[in-house]
């Protein structure tokens, strides 16, 4: 089991970005994930958008690889975290 790095690439005034933040907050309650948020108007965020060919925000990188862009599916993200061996949050561990 391991901690998974999630990088959310956002844009100002982006409704789907708010949805993605909510999904990441819910997922963070159940899995040990390290979440960072970068705006596409920052140098680093813009570079990652170009590097990973994200056509529009939000974009989500999972351990540095493009996982999704646009509306983020919580179910799909949870399945991928399970598949990749992500650690469960300590409050959930038994």
Q: What is the domain range of residue 17?
A: 4-83
- Angle (CA) 16 37 4, round 5°: 105
> Is 17 inside a domain boundary?
yes
Query: Does the pLDDT of residue 3 top 60, yes or no?
Result: yes
Task: Count how many domains the chain has.
Answer: 1
> Is 89 inside a domain boundary?
no
Per-residue confidence at 94, pLDDT binned at 50, 70, 90?
A: very low
| Alpha-carbon gap, residue 20 to 25, rounded angstroms | 9
Cis peptide before 68 (omega within 30 of 0): no
Per-residue pLDDT reduced to its tens digit, 17-50: 999 999 999 999 999 999 999 999 999 999 999 9
> Is 75 inside a domain boundary?
yes
pLDDT higher at 84 or 90: 84
CATH at residue 22? 3.40.30.10
What does the pLDDT read at residue 27? Answer: 96
> Is 92 inside a domain boundary?
no
Q: How many residues does the chain have?
A: 94
> Is 88 inside a domain boundary?
no
> Is 53 inside a domain boundary?
yes
> Is 94 inside a domain boundary?
no
Cis peptide before 29 (omega within 30 of 0): no
Query: Does the pLDDT of residue 92 top 50, yes or no?
Result: no
> Is 78 inside a domain boundary?
yes
Per-residue confidence at 1, pLDDT binned at 50, 70, 90?
A: confident
Cα–Cα separations (whole angstroms), residue 58 to 29, 37, 39, 69, 83: 21, 10, 9, 5, 23
């Amino acid at each position: 089991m391991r901690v998974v790095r999630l990088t959310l690439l956002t844009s100002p005034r982006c409704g789907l970005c708010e949805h993605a933040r909510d999904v990441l907050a819910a997922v963070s309650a159940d899995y040990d994930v390290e979440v960072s948020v970068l705006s596409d108007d920052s140098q680093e965020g813009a570079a990652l958008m170009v590097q990973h060919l994200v056509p529009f925000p939000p974009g989500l990188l999972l351990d540095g690889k493009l996982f999704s862009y646009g509306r983020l599916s919580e179910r799909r993200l949870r399945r991928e975290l399970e598949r990749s061996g992500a650690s469960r949050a300590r409050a959930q561990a038994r």
